[in-house]
Chains A and B, each alone.
Chain A
Amino acid sequence: MPRWGMVIDVKRCIACWGCTIACKEEHFLPPGVFFNRVLIGETGKFPTSSKLIYPVLCNHCEDAACVEACPTGATYVREDGIVAVDDTKCVGCRACMVACPYQQRTYYDEKTKNREFFPGQGKTEMETIGEKLYPFKLGTVIKCNFCSERVDEGMKKGLTPGKDEDATPACVNICPVGARVFGDLDDPNSEINRLIMEKKGKQLRKEFGTEPAVYYID
């Protein structure tokens, strides 16, 4: 069984927000909800300051703080390493949201559901269809699932996630500069492992001991 992970090359990223938008389209996310974000910060002082661009998403941690905190077992780590939420078990206590050091979870309530992309003008056809095609359960927590639907369906068709677009997360497919690489962390010969080894991939906030499956290289 593979363990899915991602490498993001922060030197290549041009902060186009393509990943953010592709993710919103893929999951029909309402306004204000993001499974993918691009953090832009600065370090140092002029004239030696430099700009930091970090696309962030759920880290699908091996020892996920959210999984430990969840009192119902609704949040769990799948065999392939993807951290998923079972909305039939979630009670909406938001312990996972508080516990996540990366703040990658969103509580889906009535207020979030009712937000419109064009406030006061009613929901667009796209938003209405999205609610039917990709429904979220009210009073539960939602998050990035590494496009597990695509990965699962693709694998059933014999495709390889990370290589074949139909089996690869939307944020990876859309990236115009190829800053994102998706693949199997357990396969020593995979592209993702090669990049991590060669470019000394770093995990965000490693000190929390959550063993993220998303690595950053520069």
Chain B
Amino acid sequence: MNDNHQNLVETMFPSDGSGIKPYEWMISPTRQRQWIDEKGIFLWLAFFFSEIGAGLYFMSLFYSFRPGIVIGWLITLVLGGIIHVLYLGNPKRAWRMLMKPNTSELSRGMWIIGVFAVLGFLQIITPGGFNMVFNFIMGILCLLIISHGFATMNVVRALPAWSSTVVLPLSIISGIWVGHQLLQLLFAMSGNATVVSGMEVWAATFFLIYILCIGLYAWGTWHMSDVAKISVKKMLEGDLKRATYEGVGVLAVLLPLIFTLIMWGGSTNGFLVFLRLASVLAGDLAIRYLIMKTAVYNPLI
């Protein structure tokens, strides 16, 4: 059997047994592949970077912290944007994605990112950019960008695990939480210990809501339908259980909880803030990966 043949067989009958057999396709609940497998992995990263960049920008507005909005703007547009383009099959035609904002969530997202790019740039270069009107508009745009990835997934009615009502609140709070952590580290690096300490009360609040949303998502999806329940089961069993227990359980929840308890009351430490950020970033990536990877379609018959 030559390599080409072997590849084809491997595609159709994965040797690890994780894949679906051709005769089970859409007869058993069938996993979504396009937006996570192979090149689809870019979309996972693109949504993540857009979210954390916009999250950092959003939190920086409350502290009128110019380096924060510059870095947030760059992460959203450069990292998020480039990775989005890498995913597309025909990147030269990407401008066409602006054509249907009336129905397509992707198209709406492109418009929002376009407006964010222009207004964000103006806010960065304008000396009095942190005024109430600018902050309000940019705040709304940031929230829309933070939720853009999950909103695009949320409208897919065919995938129950994505159409859960908790998906949007989860994405918004995760963007704010990660953005807050990035900002806290930036302040720590700039030696502003008072602000870092003052931010801790918000860190604890956002973290609490974040954990609550993760729990609500899992609980809500489990009880939504039989097919949605399979998505949660896929997270807890099989190949993905390590990502769930280590990625979500340890990195997204347990370690940040320990660091938050150590820094409780504002006794912050730059190194601990860094460790918590690293853990939160990895945990957020794991949550996004699992939600995208475990979504399954209803069988047709």
Q: What is the interface of chain A, defined by CB distance below 8 A to chain B? A: 31-32, 37, 39-41, 52, 54, 56, 65, 67-74, 89-95, 97-103, 107, 109, 115-116, 119-120, 138-140, 204-205, 208-209
Contact = CB atoms under 8 A, between A and B. Distances in A.
Nearest to B6: A119
Given A40-B27, A101-B298, A31 B8 contact: yes
A209 B3 CA distance: 44
Query: Interface majority SS on A: helix, strand, loop or mixed?
Result: loop
A91 B158 CA distance: 22
Interface of B: 2-5, 8, 11-12, 23, 25-27, 30, 32, 34-35, 39-40, 87-91, 93-94, 96-100, 103-107, 110, 152, 155-159, 297-301
A100 B88 CA distance: 19
A116 B94 CA distance: 31
Given A32-B8, A39-B25, A39-B301, 6 more contacts: A41-B301, A71-B96, A72-B100, A91-B91, A94-B40, A119-B4
B158 A208 contact: yes
A95 B104 contact: yes
A39 B157 CA distance: 22
A57 to B, nearest CB: 11
B26 A39 contact: yes
A99 B158 contact: yes
Contact of A72 (B4, B96, B301): B96
A76 B279 CA distance: 44
A191 B90 CA distance: 42
Contacts of B23: 40
Nearest to B3: A120
A75 to B, nearest CB: 10
B298 A205 contact: yes
B100 A73 contact: yes
Nearest to A141: B89
